[in-house]
Amino acid sequence: MAARFKFRLDFLIKMRQRKEEEAMARLAKRLASIRDIENEIVSLNERKDRLAGELDEKMKSGGITVPLIILYKEYDGKLAKDIARANEFLRLSRREEAKERAALTKASIDRKIMEKLKENKKAEFAEEQAYLEQNNLEEMASLAKARRDREAARERAEEYQAGVDL
């Protein structure tokens, strides 16, 4: 019966695969967060543009008071600060995304290295098994030939003995 291949470091491959999956999940979360921030920035910019349009319309129509203009300007300033804050947060999130991508790449490479090691060990094992099987076949052939030679020698001896007895 042929021996079965068993890789003793399979647990390490599983552990590295889990690390890779965790890194993938973290990256996916980060990308979702970045998408949310980008949507928020778009929304804030649209609100800011809408506010500027409303202010221009009211100023053209002349139905606006100074306190209302001040209120519009203050709200415009608040939106500008919110946009700046969101852009800064986006920049930081993209920096973290780069780190998480690097971690995912490293985890993936580590797993692939272990899988390649397993493949190499499996190939070595298969070669060793083929070598052992070939040796067994050669040994069995040698034993069979030796048995045939002994039987032939015995038959010749019996024939000789039968010829001498006459």
* 112-147 pLDDT per residue, tens: 999 999 999 999 999 999 999 999 999 999 999 999
Per-residue pLDDT, 162: 78
* Of the candidates 116, 90, 126, the residue with the CA atom closest to the CA atom of residue 12: 116
Q: Which residue has the tokens 């993936």?
A: 108
Burial of 111 (0-12, 13-18, 19+ CB in 10 A): buried
On whether the CB atoms of residues 72 and 48 are closer than 8 A, the answer is no
Per-residue tokens: 55: 């202010």
Can you say how many angstroms the Cα of residue 72 is from the centroid of all Cα atoms in its chain?
A: 51
* Of the candidates 19, 10, 1, 2, the residue with the CA atom closest to the CA atom of residue 121: 10
pLDDT, tens digit, for every residue of 15-58?
999 999 999 999 999 999 999 999 999 999 999 999 999 988 88
